[in-house]
Structure formats: structure tokens, C-alpha cells
Structure 1
């Protein structure tokens, strides 16, 4: 057989074999698809739109604040600045806050302890997950066992103990949560009551009690020192 014909047959066979291999691999390893139903996707989209709307509202409020500074006289600007500082102190946790919210209690499950189970420390990971869900569902301010949570707070294990703001927490813990309104406090209560958190804590031999929404809850200010490593003093002002 002519060498050219053999070469051509070899090349064609290689190409056909490669195409079959690619097709077989495509059939065996299909592209991963999103298997969530349409309602789950719509729910996630709704939450993202809600976050987007909140960010736009916050940007608008800051723009209004800037406009107030520009339009007011110096004396009025000083008063406005003082009010802004008070608002910021409240947001970062340097002042006490009173408002509607929910109180949660974590305590050892006595029935399990009487059956021979040991008392376990509250899991930092579980506590962090609970706090994240609280913030996600309208929680504004949170206090755990007397410790106010701020943007610098840490929940972690130190020397075998669960700590908040580096302070060990007790086996019986009260959590206070404040929301924007009583309606949002009721929604937060409903979500937590229907969630799996009670079962999750019970697996660690702990009872999580979720009390009904209250109209007035007071959270104490943060008594530690806030980090200011990213703040630079500007001495160029008039």
C-alpha cells in the first residue's frame, strides 16, 4: 500500500478516535447544572435585591447628610456633626441601646445531664452561625452574656473555653437582640423558632430557649477598646 495512503488513513483514524473520545467524555461528565427549583432561585434573588435596596438607601442617606453639611452655617454644621458622632457611637456599640427585640437563653439540658451526659462548652462555631443568622434576619445589636458585639468582636475558643471579646462565657448564657421595629422582632422570633438551632444546641447537650418578641430590651455599651488602626488623623483642617 502506498505510504501516503497509509499516512492519510492513520491521520483520519486518529481524528475520528479523538472525536469519539471527546464525545464519550462529554456524555460521561456532563456540565454541572443548578438543580435548585425556581422558587429557591427566586428567594435568593429576592434577598439579593433586598440587600441592594438597603445599600441604595444607605448611600442616599449619606448623600442627604453631605448636602445638609454643605447647606448649613458653621454653627449648625457643628450641631449636625455632633448628632452624627452620637449616631456613629450607637452603631459601633459605644452607647447603650433600647428597642424592640428578642431574648434567647442557652443552658445545659438537665434531662440529659441526669442521664449521665456531660456538660459541654457552647460551641464557638455554632454560636457564630447563630449570630450570623440573627444579623441576616434583621438583628441590629447583639449582646452575649453581657458582652456587646461590635465590628471587632471575636467569638472563639481560648484555653478550652468559649469566649466573646476574649471574655469566657458561662454555661448559662443570655443573648439579647435588638431590631429596627417590633414587627421585625416578631419575624426574627418566628424564623429562629422554626429553625433547626434548637436541635443543633440539643445535640451539644444544651437547651436553646427562644422567647417571644419584646417591645423594650436594653443592651449595654461595649466596655473594651475599639481598634482604630485604619484611622488617620488629618491635621490639615482649618
Structure 2
């Protein structure tokens, strides 16, 4: 009887072990399938992102080529008389104001560097946000800035700024700006007025700017690239008098 009882006990134990091994194998198979599915999804997302980047680059290249072609047409027209030449000058001036041409001139360059203690337990409160960048742009505009760029992305009347991905980066003109890396802001205008605005008490410490090491320098020659996007106007219309 003892022998039979021992054999039954061993059989039950073996059965339980077999069940546990089978169950564990099924779990591992599900995890493997899940990982494979996630890898596939990640691969698909990566491919789609690369395709979108290529499409964006192609559109920007096409836009630049069209602008160059239009410039050639305008230059050929201006050879016909002073009136055409004046119209061409007005068009060039308008493009410059809209941000469609590279510009240069005197102004200031601001360097926003993350402070060493930026990544503390209260990181969400300390990271720079789109509101902080918009505040600086507004201060520079109020001081008479004629052209502004954030990380060489031209600021125009249609520039939007938005924090994203849990404050990991800021969208500026559909370009990512990381608040955990150096941010450079260029502004062309009267150097004295711009620097006075930056030196005003509280300007460079407002909001989360106070958690960063911010310096600036005045320069006699600053280059700001053109706005490489296309203006979208679907709803505004000129008023016919």
C-alpha cells in the first residue's frame, strides 16, 4: 500500500509539473508573439516616419525651386521699365517681412543652456515650455526685433509652438526643440534696444527660464534663414471696397 501511495504521489506531482510547464510555455509563446508584434509595429512606424520625412524634404525642395523660378520670371519682367522694377522691389520687401528670404543684420544671440541641477525630482516644473519660448519671442518683438529664429527655425505670423510627448520636446514650425538641450534664439534689430529688453529685471528669469543658464551676446552680423514652410490661408479674404 505504501508503494502504491508513493507512486500515486509521484504521479500527481509529475502531472502538476507537466501542467505548470505547459502553462509556462504558453505564456512564453504569447510574450514572444507580443514582442514580435511590437517589433513589427515599431518597424512600421519607423518606416512611415522616414517616408514622411522624405516627403517633407521633397516638398520643401519643390517649394524652393518654385520660388527661384518665380524670382527669375520677376527679374526678366523688371528689365522692361522702372515701374516693373519698383513692383519687384516691393515684392522682395514683402517676402522679407513674410520670412521667405534669408536675412542678415545686427542684433542679439541668446543661448539657453540646461542648468546642472535641472534634472531633479521636480523635473516637470523645471523644464522649459512653449510658453517660455513664446514669452521671449514676444519680448524681442516688443523691443523691435525685425526677424527671429529659434534653433534656425524662422518665426513668422503663422508660427505655432506646442509642448508634446510629456514635455520631452517643443514643436516650433513642426520642428522639434528639446528643452533638455541648448536652445539658440537669434534676433535681428537694434542691438541696444534688444539687449536692454533682455537686461530688464525678470526677463530672463520669468517662468521656467529661471532654471536655465541663459546668456546672450550682441553681434553686428547675424544670419537668419528663410521660412521653409508654405503659408496656409483658407479663410481670410481681402475686403473689396
Normalized against structure 1, the TM-score is what?
0.58
**RMSD of aligned alpha carbons:** 2.5
User: Which of these two proteins has the greater Rg computed from alpha carbons?
Assistant: 2
For 1:98-137, list aligned pairs within 5 A: 98-110=104-116, 112-113=117-118, 118=123, 120-137=126-143
Query: Given the alignment, which residue of 177, 184, 202 partners 1:169?
Result: 177
The answer to whether the 8 A contact 1:201-1:207 is kept is no
Q: CA deviation at 1:195?
A: 3.0
| Superposed displacement of residue 91, structure 1 | 0.6
Q: Which aligned pairs between 1:18-167 and structure 2 lie closer than 5 A? A: 75-110=81-116, 112-113=117-118, 118=123, 120-160=126-166, 161-167=169-175
Supply the distance in 1 between the matched residues of 2:84 and 2:209 (Cα, whole angstroms). 55
Structure 1's consecutive aligned runs of 4 or more residues displaced over 3 angstroms after TM superposition are: 113-121, 201-204
Unaligned runs of at least 5 residues, structure 2: 1-79
- SS of the residue corresponding to residue 222 of structure 1 reads coil
**Following the alignment from structure 1 to structure 2, what is the Cα–Cα distance between the partners of residues 75 and 95?**
24
Count matched residues: 154
Of 200, 214, 225, which aligns to 2:230? 225
Check 1:94–1:131 CA distance in 2 against 1; reply closer, same or farther (3 A cut).
same
The answer to whether residue 208 in structure 2 is matched with residue 186 in structure 1 is no
User: With structure 2 as the length reference, what TM-score do the two structures score?
Assistant: 0.57
